[in-house]
């Protein structure tokens, strides 16, 4: 679970999950109220992993033909990624550039 860089309080799963769907640049700490940002490493990881899962399922369809297994795999794996994601969130005090 992520830890606030200002007050060093650890966020719980529910807080992290809710805050990860905000469209603004940062997330407000529920304990101290300071703005926290995802690290560049975390932002890269959160875009690459779902892309890899979808690409692998699509490649399976390409080589083995379309099937219901691929649809169920896609519907099962993507929610799993969203459920597991809050455990790997890393926060920083300032917004880091991606490159």
Radius of gyration of the chain measured on its C-alpha atoms? 16
Does residue 16 have a pLDDT over 80? yes
* Residue 52 falls inside a structural domain: yes
Does residue 99 have a pLDDT over 80? no
Give how many domains the chain has, as a whole number: 1
Copy the structure tokens of residue 12: 């719980």
Range of the domain at 43: 13-92
What is the band of 10 on the pLDDT scale with cuts at 50, 70, 90? very high
* Residue 4 falls inside a structural domain: no
For residue 79, what pLDDT is reported?
A: 84
For residue 2, what pLDDT is reported?
A: 86
For residue 72, what pLDDT is reported?
A: 83
Q: In sequence order, what are the residues at sequence separation of 6 or more whose Cβ sits closer than 8 angstroms to the Cβ of residue 74?
A: 53, 54, 57
For the stretch 32-83, pLDDT in tens is 889 998 888 888 888 888 788 888 888 888 888 888 887 887 788 878 888 8
Does residue 24 have a pLDDT over 80? no
User: Of residues 89 and 24, which shows the higher confidence score?
Assistant: 89
* Residue 86 falls inside a structural domain: yes
pTM of the predicted model over 0.85: no
């Amino acid at each position: 679970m992520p830890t606030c860089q200002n007050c060093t309080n650890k966020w719980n799963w529910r807080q992290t999950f809710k805050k990860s769907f905000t469209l603004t640049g940062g997330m407000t700490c529920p304990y101290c109220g300071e703005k926290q940002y995802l690290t560049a490493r975390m932002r890269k990881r959160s875009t690459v992993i779902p892309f890899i899962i979808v690409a692998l399922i699509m490649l399976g369809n390409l080589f083995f033909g379309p099937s219901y297994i691929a649809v169920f795999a896609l519907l099962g794996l993507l929610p799993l990624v969203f459920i597991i994601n809050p455990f790997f969130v890393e926060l920083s005090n300032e917004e880091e550039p991606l490159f």
